[in-house]
Amino acid sequence: ASEVQADYLNELNPPQREGVVNTEGPTMLIAGAGSGKTRVLTYRIAHLIQHHHVEPFSIMALTFTNKAAKEMRERIEKIVGNEARNLYMGTFHSVFARILRSEASRLGFPSNFTIYDTDDSKTLIRQIVKQMKLDDKLYKANVVLNRISAAKNRLVSWQDYLNNPIYAQDDADNMRPEMGKLYQTYVMRCFSADAMDFDDLLFNTNVLFQEHPDVLNKYQQRFKYLLIDEFQDTNISQYLIAKRLAAVRQNIAVVGDDAQSIYAFRGADIQNILNFERDYPDLKVIKLEQNYRSTKTIVNAANSVINKNTAQLQKNVWTDNDEGDLIELIKATSDNEEGKLIASAIFETKMQTQSSNAEFAILYRTNSQSRAMEEALRRNNLKYRVVGGLSFYQRKEIKDLIAYLRFIVNPNDEQAMRRSINLPKRGIGPGTIEKLVVVASEENQPLWNVMENAKSYLGGRGGNQVDEYVTLIKSFRLTAEKKDAYDTAALVAKNSGLLKELYADKTIEGMSRYENVQELLNAIKEFTDDKEREDKSLSAFLQEVTLLTDEDRSDSNEEAVTLMTIHMAKGLEFNHVYIVGMEEDLFPSQMMLSSRADLEEERRLFYVAITRAKKKLTLSYALNRYRFGRLKNCEPSRFLEEIDPRFIKVNKKFGSRAALSSAESYVTKNFVNNLKKDQSNRKFASAPQHKPSPDFQPSDTSGLQEGMRVEHAKFGFGKVTVIDAEGANKKAKVEFDTAGEKTLLLSFAKLRII
Ligand code: ATP
Ligand code: MG
């Protein structure tokens, strides 16, 4: 540990140092952008290890992206050495997915449960909407998913949802009366597929901690220190997890900036900051006011904007840095011209200041704005990377292979089965697939059992074809048990026929798809070659992959201009920042604007964007833009008017300040006072699923009789009401105490006779 660095305390100002060295007890640091919050959190961890000799594995740090966690870890490593690897660090989702895997059985899940990504969730919802014969224009997958997601993030279980007349009324008002039923069915279907969606990772962690005090206690003992960055963007579900974990030792340190809260639409709430003060009366509050990131011009301009918000904590952010250049405003006639002007501005600055591409970022409100920028950058030979958008792991061929891998690990992963069963074409029709799923659901059997016995449910060819697929999957599963993720995946790519099919396609797209699959195999190889890693199984790899966020995948060492949405840019900094598309309806976004609170959130987003810039900020807008396939006239954003004019200059080459006058005449027409739904109705969730008794073992059911009490692995306790048929087809109707009446095929049902 010769490179270990000891003078880290000298790199902090007095209040920052206070935040680092007072490691005990609840601490909250709410401070403006660029004031060193993340640095305080990083050094606090280093100090715990270096000075107080706290074991790294008893420190949990929660960040907004896995990439942020990685950077923090590297920084800490520079101070304390490679011990830093044992820190428990990552996003809420990745950290608690890990814990859920260890404790899955408590919730009735296997430890190899699948994590459904948003696509899987939407596909499943579409299937349910169809099966329930609902109008798919009314029950759009993303509308339904958002509603379910919002409920989960408020810890409203489907039972609570169905029992609460407020939701029923609300859904009736929105002409979607079946929403509660959809929520219920969706949860059930995920459960029978042994799958959790992203929101479940938090929801179920809350259930786990609430209903299993022994589990909670174990982790309370283990994690002696809990730290959270970007605290303003945690939702109530995340907050409660943190609060429970820290309840015994109370060593919880949070840092954030209420002015940068930009996820209210996902349930994040300034309320958490206020709750924190209430929940920890002896809280130590630290204020930081000096900004180390940006020029005076940028800091003051950002202040002038955020001061327009009424719902902010009072802060006085200042900086000792240089005055710097004025903010530049570029006016373009069209979105394509905007791209050209930005690209040439970058090119010029790059030459004048001898900067590398990596020092430039283009930020926009929505992903679709990247296209014009990309074209222009390409024409100027400026290397760039787009963070977000259609990422590598969302490409069809990648999802195809991953579907195979998922189904190998989890034989009940319905979405993975649906995707892989006919790839390459095996002539298995949608009717056949549907039949398998329906049988499994009607007979309450694991999907895999039905598939293994496909021939008894499907006549003729269908049965044989499913049989072949089942045999193939079984052979892969055998490999997965013995070999690591790479060997298994390479075998699957080859023996499934996927690679061969792609190889045969000699179009440019086909070739690039083939290369992408090879690239995935490379990534898996890298995973298994990692010496630090203990678990090299396929299942470990899959877990890692599902929780990567888009920005985690991008290679930040590359010398490229960064393009991304403002949401993605949180916590980052660049010398030169370009915020494009400064137009009404685009930014602030029309879709998000239905109340004053929404406008304030858009303004905070603008504040986040401005404060990413270290040296120079440029803003641009276009007078015409293609949106949703039509050319539209645009008005400059009202936000341009909100910057104190002392800090801004209009680029004379391109426009004049007169162009802005139309923004002044903007009438705020959308200010409907949209009363927020009664938050006092948030109820804590009850567990949606039965957790089997610790000694649960299926009984021999040959002697099962009517009137007997039984326990089912998933449906819980119940009483047998009817026994039907004999032998392999013997069925029992069971009236379960909570899950209602079910008919079970006894040869498959996991029943315990009590
Ligand atoms: P954000 O609100 O955007 O997340 P932040 O408050 O987390 O910002 P940091 O990212 O920690 O701020 O710090 C901003 C910049 O200032 C970084 O480049 C950091 O290295 C630098 N910095 C922070 N504190 C100091 C200090 N005491 N001396 C010199 N530089 C500092
Ligand atoms: Mg930060």
- Least confident range of 225-239, 431-445, 716-730: 716-730
Which of 10, 18, 38, 291 is the best mutation target for the ligand 1 pocket, counting ligand atoms within 8 Å of the beta carbon and taking the most?
A: 38
The predicted model gives 113-119 an average pLDDT of: 90
Show Cβ contacts of residue 536 under 8 Å, excluding neighbours closer than 6 positions.
484, 485, 486, 527, 528, 530
* Ligand 1 atom with minimal separation from the 35 CA: 6
- Residue 640: C-alpha distances to residues 54, 607, 750 (Å): 49, 12, 64
523 is in an annotated binding site: no
| Smallest CA separation from ligand 1 atom 11, residue | 36
204-218, 309-323, 627-641 — most confident range? 204-218
pLDDT of residue 690: 67
At residue 328, φ and ψ (nearest 5 deg) are -105, 140
Q: How many CB atoms lie within 10 A of CB 93?
A: 20
pLDDT of residue 674: 24
- Tell which residue, 473, 489, 479, 485, has the closest CA to residue 540: 485
pLDDT for residue 658 is more than 50: no
In Å, how far from its chain's centre is CA 408? 24
pLDDT of residue 5: 59
pLDDT of residue 214: 97
- Angstrom distance (rounded) from CA 372 to CA 363: 13
CA of 571 to the centre of ligand 2 (A): 4
Structure confidence by residue, pLDDT tens digits, 289-326: 999 999 999 999 999 999 998 877 778 899 999 999 99
Structure confidence by residue, pLDDT tens digits, 677-729: 222 222 222 234 566 776 777 777 878 888 888 888 777 888 888 887 776 66
For the chain, give the percent of residues with pLDDT over 70.
89
Q: Provide the residue type at 299 as one letter.
A: V
622 is in an annotated binding site: no
CA of 280 to the centre of ligand 1 (A): 27
- Angstrom distance (rounded) from CA 351 to CA 324: 18
pLDDT of residue 688: 42
pTM summary value: 0.77
- Structure tokens that stand for 601 in this block: 């959130």
Question: What residues act catalytically?
Answer: 37-38, 229-230, 260, 612
31 is in an annotated binding site: yes
- Least confident range of 172-181, 267-276, 400-409: 267-276
- Angstrom distance (rounded) from CA 382 to CA 582: 23
Task: Output the 3-class SS for 423-466.
Answer: CCCCCCCHHHHHHHHHHHHHCCCCHHHHHHCHHHHCCHHHHHHH
311 is in an annotated binding site: no
The predicted model gives 41-65 an average pLDDT of: 95
pLDDT for residue 657 is more than 60: no
Model confidence band, residue 390 (pLDDT cutoffs 50, 70, 90): low
- Residue 746: C-alpha distances to residues 103, 110, 311, 442 (Å): 28, 21, 60, 13
pLDDT of residue 512: 75
- Tell which residue, 567, 581, 588, has the closest CA to residue 671: 588
79-83, 502-506, 709-713 — most confident range? 79-83
pLDDT for residue 632 is more than 90: no
Which of 292, 566, 568, 607 is the best mutation target for the ligand 1 pocket, counting ligand atoms within 8 Å of the beta carbon and taking the most?
A: 292
36 is in an annotated binding site: yes
pLDDT for residue 627 is more than 90: no
At residue 672, φ and ψ (nearest 5 deg) are -80, 130
| Smallest CA separation from ligand 1 atom 13, residue | 36
- Angstrom distance (rounded) from CA 280 to CA 221: 19
Strands 59-63 and 613-627: unpaired
pLDDT of residue 549: 56
| Smallest CA separation from ligand 1 atom 14, residue | 34
Q: How many CB atoms lie within 10 A of CB 583?
A: 28
- Angstrom distance (rounded) from CA 391 to CA 221: 39
CA of 646 to the centre of ligand 1 (A): 26
Instruction: Give the 3-state secondary structure of residue 224.
Output: coil
- Residue 258: C-alpha distances to residues 311, 604, 746 (Å): 9, 9, 56
- Angstrom distance (rounded) from CA 735 to CA 720: 6
Residues β-bridged to residue 565: 364
Model confidence band, residue 636 (pLDDT cutoffs 50, 70, 90): very high
- Tell which residue, 430, 491, 433, has the closest CA to residue 466: 433
The predicted model gives 440-449 an average pLDDT of: 89
Report whether 731 contacts 745 (CB < 8 A): yes
- Tell which residue, 334, 259, 332, 325, has the closest CA to residue 627: 334
- Write out the H or E segment, with its range, that includes residue 623: strand 613-627
pLDDT for residue 393 is more than 80: no
Q: What is the ipTM of this complex?
A: 0.99
Q: What is the DSSP letter of 685?
A: P
Show Cβ contacts of residue 368 under 8 Å, excluding neighbours closer than 6 positions.
none
Structure confidence by residue, pLDDT tens digits, 336-352: 899 999 999 999 999 99
Strands 630-633 and 613-627: antiparallel
* Ligand 1 atom with minimal separation from the 612 CA: 3
Q: How many CB atoms lie within 10 A of CB 630?
A: 7
pLDDT for residue 550 is more than 60: no
At residue 409, φ and ψ (nearest 5 deg) are -75, -40
pLDDT of residue 652: 53
Instruction: Give the 3-state secondary structure of residue 44.
Output: helix
* Ligand 1 atom with minimal separation from the 292 CA: 16
pLDDT of residue 333: 92
pLDDT of residue 557: 55
Ligand at minimal distance from the CA of 40 is 1
Task: Output the 3-class SS for 382-399.
Answer: CCEEECCCCCHHHCHHHH
* Ligand 1 atom with minimal separation from the 41 CA: 11
Structure confidence by residue, pLDDT tens digits, 169-193: 999 988 999 999 999 999 999 999 9
pLDDT for residue 642 is more than 50: yes
Report whether 602 contacts 593 (CB < 8 A): yes
pLDDT of residue 128: 94
| Smallest CA separation from ligand 1 atom 26, residue | 12
Residue of 53 and 673 predicted with greater confidence: 53
In Å, how far from its chain's centre is CA 15? 33
Q: How many CB atoms lie within 10 A of CB 5?
A: 12
At residue 346, φ and ψ (nearest 5 deg) are -65, -45
Residue in this structure with the two tokens 């290679």, named with its chain if needed: 555
- Angstrom distance (rounded) from CA 499 to CA 400: 11
Model confidence band, residue 666 (pLDDT cutoffs 50, 70, 90): very low
The predicted model gives 530-558 an average pLDDT of: 74
The predicted model gives 586-598 an average pLDDT of: 80
pLDDT of residue 590: 80
Ligand 1, CB cutoff 6 Å, lining residues: 11-13, 16, 33-39, 257, 260, 292-293, 571, 573, 611
pLDDT of residue 546: 74
pLDDT of residue 391: 61
pLDDT, the chain, mean: 86
pLDDT of residue 654: 44
For the chain, give the percent of residues with pLDDT over 90.
57
pLDDT of residue 714: 74
Instruction: Give the 3-state secondary structure of residue 574.
Output: strand
The predicted model gives 68-80 an average pLDDT of: 92
Show Cβ contacts of residue 459 under 8 Å, excluding neighbours closer than 6 positions.
none
CA of 381 to the centre of ligand 1 (A): 32
Residue in this structure with the two tokens 């966690």, named with its chain if needed: 69
Would you say how long the chain is, in residues? 754
HSE value, Cβ hemisphere, 13 Å, CA-based, for 269: 17
Ligand at minimal distance from the CA of 42 is 1
- Least confident range of 44-48, 109-113, 218-222: 109-113
pLDDT of residue 543: 83
Q: Please give the radius of gyration of the chain, using alpha carbons only, rounded to the nearest integer.
A: 28
